Chains A and B, each alone.
Chain A
């Protein structure tokens, strides 16, 4: 089968590459674009380690053909910090509150949490747990992840209020 000329926007930059349509988006990101932040955990759309943001939706990139993302606007964990390296409030909060141990789930967790907070800037603990229920962590027991997301929400809301 012939390759497709893939074009999309990733982390704000126009990118292109050649790939078979059957290539999974996670493989295109990791192997063609060298964006190895999104991880392959289960490869069966359960664990969420491969979560990226596509056109404003959290998506498990192991369960999308690159052809489907033709023309899409994609954000990975690599695109979440500021250009100068300043960490996003969520990244800071995961560090501050020990929201990770081995770190394997963290890129997916943070990418998902970012979308969650954009849709619901002031989530309850229950809403956070429900909102990240598509991301598995086998180390932390989730408690500190939930704490970190809640702390990041407070931080972002305080900054937003200060700006208004």
Chain B
């Protein structure tokens, strides 16, 4: 399978990348790890005339703590996430999720920025970023803006990112110390997208849940922030009735398609199980 022809650009700065996007408008695509775009190009489902390879932009690499915010450069790979001590300590759900993404080779290439910017409802990081209330920094010809992950996804492959903008950072408010988190993903095989998956982040004090957020992967045409499901847990001692209510609230917003991963009803069912297991795990991990 041979992709269509394109002109290759390797800018050294975000400003240069933005200028290339502005000049070539809808004929250009950004290339990060390439493991979503290149397969699409090989199938000729994408045929950009200009490829803007971001690999030389050093400011897009790396993980840092900026006050109360964890800043992940867009070109940070899933493998970098797995190896990060900062993330293992402050936000371990990212490592747990990255270990469930694709396979080792793909994780060396696939980036956090690409994963969240692509808009594929099968990607795992978007729902987690919604549960974490992360925001994405976008740089374009009119400057810099931050877009909340909860407002970013419009439809399958449609996002709030402009055609001439580069997503440069994922910014995560550092989760509360002692929080418990879990990402539970059901998939058919290594490398598969989720049949359904759930991210749960919660805090517990004196046996009572003081904060909770829940989001779902691949059971709708966008990641789904299940606000009511999280609210169903807050103020409870996470007893069976509260967990049942959260599971039902999460299932109520799913709209999966029937595909090789199963009929829609099954995928909604799996989403419920993922939420239930993730709540139990997060509770166990909270301190």
Choice from B7, B106, B109 contacting A21 with Cβ under 8 Å: B7
B108 surroundings in chain A (CB, below 8 A): 57-59
B266: CB under 8 A from chain A?
A: no
Nearest Cβ distance between residue A21 and chain B, in whole angstroms? 4
- With an 8 A cutoff between CB atoms, is A65 at the interface? yes
A4 touches B8 (CB 8 A): yes
Interface-lining segment among A7-15, A42-50, A82-90? A42-50
Residues of A within 8 A of B240 (CB): none
Are B104 and A22 touching (Cβ within 8 A)?
Answer: no
Say whether B79 contacts A57, CB under 8 Å: yes
A48 and B2: CB pair below 8 A?
Answer: no
Q: Which chain A residue shows the least CB distance to B53?
A: A68
- Size bracket, chain A contacts: 20 to 34
Any chain A CB within 8 A of the CB of B55? yes
Q: Which residues of B contact A21 (CB under 8 A)?
A: 6-8, 51
Q: Which of A59-117 contact B (CB under 8 A)?
A: 59-60, 63-65, 67-68, 70, 112, 116
Identify which of A44, A68, A132 contacts B31 (C-beta below 8 A): A68
Contact between chains at A45 and B106 (CB < 8 Å): yes
Which residues of A sit under 8 angstroms from B31, Cβ to Cβ?
65, 68
Would you call B38 and A133 a contact (CB within 8 A)?
no
Give the residue name and chain of the B residue nearest to A129 (CB).
B190
The answer on a CB contact under 8 Å between A44 and B39 is yes
A1 at the interface (CB under 8 A from B): yes
In the bound complex, CA of A68 to CA of B53 (Å): 7
Tell me whether A45 and B35 are in contact in the complex, defined as CB-CB below 8 angstroms, given that A131-B104, A133-B190 are known contacts: yes
Cβ-defined contact, B53 with A67, below 8 A = yes
Asked if A134 is at the interface (CB within 8 A of a chain B CB), the reply is: yes
Check A46 against B191 for contact (C-beta < 8 Å).
Answer: yes
B residues contacting the other copy or chain, number (CB 8 A)? 29
A64 to B8, CA, bound (A): 13
In the complex, the chain B residue whose C-beta lies closest to that of A57 is B108
Which residues of A are found within 8 Å of B7, using beta-carbon distances?
1, 21
Contact A63 B8, beta carbon cutoff 8 Å: no
> A21-B51, A57-B108, A59-B109 are contacts. A65–B34 as well, Cβ < 8 Å?
yes
B34 CB contacts on chain A under 8 angstroms = 63-65, 68
Question: Does A20 have its Cβ within 8 Å of any Cβ on chain B?
Answer: yes
Q: Mark B50-74, 1 if CB is under 8 A from A, else 0.
A: 0101010000000000000000000
- Chain B residues closer than 8 Å to A24, beta-carbon distance: 2-3
B35–A134 contact, CB under 8 A? Answer: no
CA distance A68 to B51 in the complex (A): 11
Tell me, in angstroms, the Cα distance from A70 to B3 when the chains sit together.
18
Nearest-Cβ distance from residue A118 to partner chain B, whole angstroms: 13
> Closest CB of chain B to A135's CB: distance in Å?
8
B35 and A112 within 8 A (CB): no
Contact A64 to B38, CB < 8 A, known contacts A22-B5, A48-B105, A112-B105: yes
Binary interface encoding of chain B residues 91-123 relative to chain A, with 1 for a CB under 8 A from any of its CBs, else 0: 000000000001111101100000000000000
Q: Is B42 an interface residue (CB 8 A)?
A: yes
Question: Which B16-55 residues sit within 8 Å CB-CB of chain A?
Answer: 31, 34-35, 38-39, 41-42, 51, 53, 55
Q: Which residue of B lies closest to A27 (CB)?
A: B2
Kindly identify which residue among B1, B5, B106 contacts A134, using a CB–CB cutoff of 8 Å.
Answer: B106
Given that A64-B34, A67-B8, A133-B103 are contacting pairs, would A43 and B53 also be in contact in the complex, using a CB cutoff of 8 Å?
no
A48 to B34, CA, bound (A): 16
Interface centre among B10, B39, B53, B104, by most chain A C-beta atoms within 10 angstroms, is B104
- Chain B residues with CB under 8 Å of A130's CB are 104
Chain A residues, CB < 8 A from B55: 68
25 A–B pairs (Cβ distance < 8 Å), ordered by A: A1-B6, A22-B6, A24-B2, A24-B3, A43-B1, A44-B39, A45-B38, A45-B39, A45-B105, A45-B106, A48-B105, A51-B105, A57-B79, A57-B108, A59-B105, A59-B109, A63-B34, A63-B39, A67-B10, A68-B53, A112-B105, A116-B104, A130-B104, A133-B103, A134-B104
